[in-house]
Amino acid sequence: MAAGLVPAYKIVDTCAGEFPAATPYYYSTYEAEDERPESHRPRIVVLGAGPIRIGQGIEFDYSTVHAVKALREAGYEAVIINNNPETVSTDFDISDRLYFEPLTVEDVLHVVRREKPDGVLVQFGGQTALNLAGPLRDAGVRILGTSVRSLDISEDREKFSLLLTALGIERPEGGGVWSLPACEALLHRIGLPVVVRPSYVLGGQGMEIADTAERVRVFVADALARDPAHPVLIDRYVEGLEVEVDAISDGTSVLIPGIMEHVERAGVHSGDSIALFPAQHLSEGVAAAIVVSTVRLARALKVQGFLNIQFVYDGTRLYVLEANLRASRTVPFVSKAVGMPLVQVATRVMLGDALADFGFSDVHQLPAPSRVAVKAPVFSMEKLPRAEAAVGPEMRSTGEVMGLGADAADALHRALVAAGWHGRERSILVSLADRHKEQALPLLREVAAAGFRLLATPNTAAALHRAGIPAEAVTFDQAAELPVGLVLNTPTRGADPSRRGFQLRRSALARRIPCVTSLDTAAAVLAALIRAGEHPPVVSPLAPSALP
């Protein structure tokens, strides 16, 4: 671009030269003839999410597709820029034109200058698209929806913290450090345990919960050596119930479809957690506080479109973990749970419509749906021989499924079946870290009473026997070959292939046996399996999605 070279756009020949292709697929090349047809209709460009990878998956493609539908219904031509052919958004009949181009500033600008759109939507392509908002604005491109200034506040740690303080909203203490002395000073101020992570990561990549100062020092030294241009972020770890809200705002009114509750406590990446909708264990007071904080942030940031906020409640205080001013990976799940196409509503708001036009004035909470919805992650780690199976702050799942049921246990069982959990064997292999043995006793006592056969590695078996819980003791070598229905293994120290726990988890994956590594997950899963044994699921139709 700096050299003044401008690409031409050619139609992707989907007919292999047999006859002229008519598909609206285009790619850039540097020659004279441009095959993109001229059009005089108003148009909007939608940025996709690029190649699917862990941390940014097909959930964002759902939002892209529904945004395009809303644009076309509003009378606009919809132009997509995305370079992943394995998605619905790149099907031939979705958009008016599709450009198979990398999601870089230069490539997007070339398309924008050729298309001359009325604006660009960046909220539907995950973090990849959102990161282009500032450079595109600086190049004179009109960004539709929430302003780039507000996007910058939500992405900048210091600015966002100042905003939360001004709004009276709490956030876990923390900061960014550029050196080991600064790290020591911050740890002295906020204490342990902490969440440490590099700057600007996707899907929690490289994030870790550390409970010793030495582990934090090692992490910081390594991260700064790899990227000295950016600080290492350290936050006090708050153990508690993690909840999440996807909302839509037009800058004044706010639509809140509901509140999600994560089964796993804070510290497990939201993409890997099991989520319940609506939340099942929040008091009215805490739910009301979540709504108040969501509305304050939406109005202060003048959000026009989506707002996703993650909270943690420690039993006494509510904290904001982060806010994303874009469609999150949970938007498809929430849309299906409430029976409303939320992306279409948000797209119309970004085009300038008011929420009141849809009947949602001021602060509007949708009524709770008649059925509970559960989002469960799907993992593909059996394909990655040395990958850690234990869940944590770094996202590992490659997909998700959804279950709808009369209650949380019923919905979760349906989701587990959809994820490939068949539970033919009513036997469970248990191997627990020392810190979890006492905590797990009530759960395992209930499971044994429900008729499940428990097998346990030596130290875990000894703890169960002392508590009067029947269990068969097995060696680690035996455990790796046992035909069980479920493996429950909480790691003492993860990601070390030399440890027996790691090998046990890998053995379960290799044999396609469900492996649970969190007691929170185990409690929910086992409750679902017990309920399914007592009350077989009943098939019921899905509710259609429709605007009011």
**CB 44, CB 120: distance < 8 Å:** yes
pTM of the shown model: 0.92
Q: Do 447 and 500 sit in the same domain of this protein?
A: yes
User: Does residue 545 carry a pLDDT above 80?
Assistant: no
pLDDT at 494: 65
pLDDT at 394: 82
Is residue 84 domain-resident? yes
Tell me the pLDDT tens digit for each residue of 112-147: 999 999 999 999 998 899 999 999 999 999 999 999
Looking at residue 209, which CATH number applies to its domain?
3.30.1490.20
Is residue 383 domain-resident? no
Tell me the pLDDT tens digit for each residue of 354-384: 999 999 999 999 999 999 999 999 888 777 7
Q: Do 12 and 140 sit in the same domain of this protein?
A: yes
> Confidence band (pLDDT; 50, 70, 90) for 201?
low
Last residue of a domain, one of 215, 236, 257: 236
Q: Which domain holds residue 487?
A: 423-534
Q: Do 327 and 434 sit in the same domain of this protein?
A: no
> How far is 421 from 484, CA to CA, in rounded Å?
12
Is residue 121 domain-resident? yes
pLDDT at 145: 98
> Confidence band (pLDDT; 50, 70, 90) for 546?
very low
Tell me the pLDDT tens digit for each residue of 211-265: 899 999 999 999 999 888 889 999 999 999 999 999 999 999 999 999 999 999 8
Number of domains in the chain: 4
Looking at residue 78, which CATH number applies to its domain?
3.40.50.20
Q: Do 447 and 515 sit in the same domain of this protein?
A: yes
Last residue of a domain, one of 369, 396, 413: 369
Tell me the pLDDT tens digit for each residue of 67-85: 999 999 999 999 999 988 7
Q: What share of the chain is helix, strand, coil (3-state, %, to 5)?
A: 35, 20, 45
Looking at residue 460, which CATH number applies to its domain?
3.40.50.1380
Stretch 430-450: mean pLDDT, rounded? 95
Strand spans (E) along 451-519: 453-456, 472-473, 486-489, 515-516
Is residue 37 domain-resident? yes
User: Does residue 282 carry a pLDDT above 80?
Assistant: yes
Average pLDDT, the chain: 91
Is residue 165 domain-resident? no
> How far is 136 from 218, CA to CA, in rounded Å?
38
pLDDT at 547: 47
Q: Do 121 and 229 sit in the same domain of this protein?
A: no
**Quick one: how far is CA 24 from the chain centroid?**
31
User: Does residue 284 carry a pLDDT above 90?
Assistant: yes
Stretch 417-435: mean pLDDT, rounded? 88
CA distances from 8 to 29, 107, 115, 195 (A): 5, 12, 12, 47
Q: Do 104 and 229 sit in the same domain of this protein?
A: no
Q: Do 306 and 225 sit in the same domain of this protein?
A: no
Pick the more confident residue, 271 or 250: 250
**CB 393, CB 495: distance < 8 Å:** no
pLDDT at 203: 55
Stretch 52-63: mean pLDDT, rounded? 80
User: Does residue 66 carry a pLDDT above 90?
Assistant: yes
User: Does residue 393 carry a pLDDT above 90?
Assistant: no
